[in-house]
Amino acid sequence: MDILNKIISHQKKDVAKRQKKRPLSSFIDQVTKSERNFREALTGRASLTPIDKLPRPRLIAEIKKASPSAGVIRANIDRELLKIVATFNQFAAAISVITEKKFFQGSLNRLQKVRDLTPLPTLAKDFILDEYQLYEARLHGADAVLLIAQGNEPGQIEFLEKMIGIAHSLGMDSLVETHTVEDVKTALAAGAEIIGINNRDLATFKIDFDTTANLLPYIPEDIVIVSESGYKTPLDIQRIGDRVDAVLIGTGLLQSSNLPQTFEQLFTRVGKT
């Protein structure tokens, strides 16, 4: 069994436990609509920060404690959260927070803490299998959610369409993540307005920067595009240039002992708006 299937297998059991312990009916009346626009933060048409001063592509800075490929990335992330988010607020257009517990050591509580520390839109990054998780994410402050397209899976278009619709009803945008041409076709058929291209193969967790370049021709110009995974140097970002609206970076930032310096170095010579 590959890593992705292990994660999904565990996630199904974990979500079922959470639903039993705290049914949706017990908190749905506490869920309010998001008022922060994730999509517009990435395109620069509107933002709660002086985003016109940020470089292109825009940055989604990610909060994650660990990953299956890198192990523990930032052991003291919760103690450092205030400082990390304060730095992210200066350089990023949005903040992603991984909430998956077992494999990434994430949490919904961390998402809530980040949301309370930033004026930026927040993305809840998890493996969404049930609409219950959308309501959970919004309850804890998510302004957008990650949905993963699996182009060859039966019923994927219908599932994604439903999740996008529920997220929209809660004022949240959906970042629909893809890795293959089939994934992109599925995402578009489901009505995705923001498509993520993951340079990492979730089955093997290997990085290939050509993934973004190879999928770009299949995505219409009116779709917001986010390139994800593996970005660690200015050259990595320059490969993409202004062909995408944003890049999502987590490990490359959180392994740094000097975040402001790392931000400056990453976007050196990258074209400005």
Q: Is residue 186 part of a domain?
A: yes
Q: Is residue 29 part of a domain?
A: no
Q: Which residue has the tokens 């994430």?
A: 106
pTM, 2 dp: 0.90
Distance CA 46, CA 44 (A): 5
Angle ∠(241,247,249) on CA atoms, nearest 5 = 130
Q: Which residue has the tokens 């790392």?
A: 262
Q: Is residue 43 part of a domain?
A: no
* Given 37, 62, 100, 136, the catalytic residue: 62
Active-site residue flag, 229: yes
* Given 125, 136, 174, 227, the catalytic residue: 125
State whether the Cα torsion 162-163-164-167 is positive or negative: positive
Which DSSP category does 200 fall into? B
Active-site residue flag, 125: yes
How far does CA 134 lie from the centroid of its chain? 14
Distance CA 267, CA 99 (A): 27
Q: Is residue 180 part of a domain?
A: yes
Distance CA 47, CA 257 (A): 29
Q: Is residue 172 part of a domain?
A: yes
201 lies in which domain range?
3-18+57-266
> If phi over 0 gives left and psi between -120 and 50 gives alpha, with beta otherwise, what is residue 205?
left
Q: What CATH number does the domain containing 182 carry?
A: 3.20.20.70
Q: Is residue 87 part of a domain?
A: yes
Distance CA 8, CA 128 (A): 9
* Given 47, 96, 198, 199, the catalytic residue: 198
pLDDT, tens only, 110-139: 999 999 999 999 999 999 999 999 999 999
* Given 34, 67, 113, 177, the catalytic residue: 177
The total number of structural domains in the chain stands at: 1
pLDDT, tens only, 45-61: 434 344 445 556 889 99
CB contact at 8 A, 25 and 137: no
Active-site residue flag, 64: yes
Active-site residue flag, 62: yes
Q: Is residue 49 part of a domain?
A: no
pLDDT of the chain, 273 residues: tens digit per residue: 577 788 899 999 999 999 999 999 999 999 999 999 999 999 874 343 444 455 568 899 999 998 887 888 888 999 999 999 999 998 899 999 999 999 999 999 999 999 999 999 999 999 999 999 999 999 999 999 999 998 778 899 999 999 999 999 999 999 999 999 999 999 999 999 999 999 887 777 788 888 998 999 999 999 999 998 878 777 778 777 678 899 999 888 888 888 888 888 777 654 444
* Given 34, 37, 47, 64, the catalytic residue: 64
Q: Is residue 134 part of a domain?
A: yes
